[in-house]
């Protein structure tokens, strides 16, 4: 129903979400915003057939960047990475659909843009690993973890039923 509250889906754990409700946390990094790539990036996910279920612009405080990238905290580039993510506004998104986590990684391309295939977002728009334009969750579990970090207040999310589903999937 259109009026179902967003919190009902947020409280569902990854194990109980239906396959077609898989979610990825995708973020346009500050360089993507500055370079005017937001529309092009959103377009690639829309045209593939995923559903935008969360969207907000956000000036990331250091603690959120550190929490998001906590698995990389021992890496030598970690301080620069945190500074980069906090250097300007980011666009935080939740994309939903069957297979979205893996598919988003393919749309995004390899971490190092010089190794990303042409046709991928990083392959088409970036050259430097420290300026690689976009983030996408690397597993279902991390997708839910990251959505919890960036959309903790629920602001920027809304529940809606995609009516094009029968035209996309058998
Ligand atoms: P991905 O973003 O493709 O999941 P990682 O989780 O390995 O890749 O790294 C997270 C982010 O950290 C990368 O997207 C990139 O912005 C940054 N990063 C990774 N490796 C390096 C590196 N060697 N030097 C600088 N920044 C890096």
Residues of the chain under the 70 pLDDT cut = 1-16
How far apart, in Å, do the first and last CA atoms of the chain sit? 22
CB 112 within 8 A of CB 35: no
Flag whether 100 is in a domain. yes
Please tell me the predicted confidence (pLDDT) of residue 76: 98
135 catalytically annotated: yes
Flag whether 108 is in a domain. yes
Range of the domain at 39: 6-11+25-168
Flag whether 19 is in a domain. no
Torsion of CA 70, 76, 79, 83, to 10 degrees: -100
Check 135, 147, 150, 151 and give the catalytic one. Answer: 135
Flag whether 20 is in a domain. no
Please tell me the predicted confidence (pLDDT) of residue 19: 87
Domain count, the chain: 1
Distance (Å, rounded) from C-alpha 28 to C-alpha 40? Answer: 11
Pocket of ligand 1 (CB under 6 A): 72, 77, 81, 111, 129-130, 132, 135, 138
Which atom of ligand 1 is nearest to 29's Cα?
16
pTM listed for this prediction: 0.92
CATH code, 83? 3.30.70.141
157-166 residue pLDDT tens: 999 999 999 9
Distance (Å, rounded) from C-alpha 105 to C-alpha 136? Answer: 6
Flag whether 16 is in a domain. no
Residue to probe by mutation, ligand 1, list 83, 87, 112, 130, most atoms within 8 Å of CB: 130
What sign does the CA torsion over 125, 129, 131, 133 have?
positive
Flag whether 145 is in a domain. yes
Please tell me the predicted confidence (pLDDT) of residue 15: 54
49-84 residue pLDDT tens: 999 999 999 999 999 999 999 999 999 999 999 999
DSSP 20: G
126 contact partners, CB below 8 Å, separation of at least 6? 31, 113, 116, 132, 133
| Atom 26 in ligand 1: residue holding the nearest Cα | 130
Distance (Å, rounded) from C-alpha 27 to C-alpha 56? Answer: 10
- 3-class DSSP state of 104: helix
Flag whether 1 is in a domain. no
Residue 12 marked in a binding site: no
Please tell me the predicted confidence (pLDDT) of residue 116: 98
Flag whether 17 is in a domain. no
Distance (Å, rounded) from C-alpha 117 to C-alpha 104? Answer: 14
């Amino acid at each position: 129903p259109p009026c179902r509250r967003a919190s009902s889906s947020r409280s569902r754990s990854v194990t109980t979400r239906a396959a077609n409700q898989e979610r990825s946390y995708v973020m346009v990094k500050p360089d993507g915003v500055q370079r005017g790539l937001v529309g092009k990036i959103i377009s690639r996910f829309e045209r593939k057939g995923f559903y935008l279920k969360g969207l907000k612009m956000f000036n990331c405080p250091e603690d959120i960047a550190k929490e998001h990238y906590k698995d990389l905290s021992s890496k030598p580039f970690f301080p620069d990475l945190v500074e980069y993510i906090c250097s300007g506004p980011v666009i935080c998104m939740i994309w939903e659909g069957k297979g979205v986590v893996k598919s988003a990684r393919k749309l995004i391309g390899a971490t190092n843009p010089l190794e990303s295939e042409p046709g991928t977002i990083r392959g088409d728009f970036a050259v430097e690993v420290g300026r690689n334009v976009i983030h996408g969750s690397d597993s279902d579990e991390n997708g839910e973890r990251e959505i919890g970090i960036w959309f903790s207040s629920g602001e920027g999310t809304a529940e809606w039923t995609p009516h094009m589903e029968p035209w996309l999937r058998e």
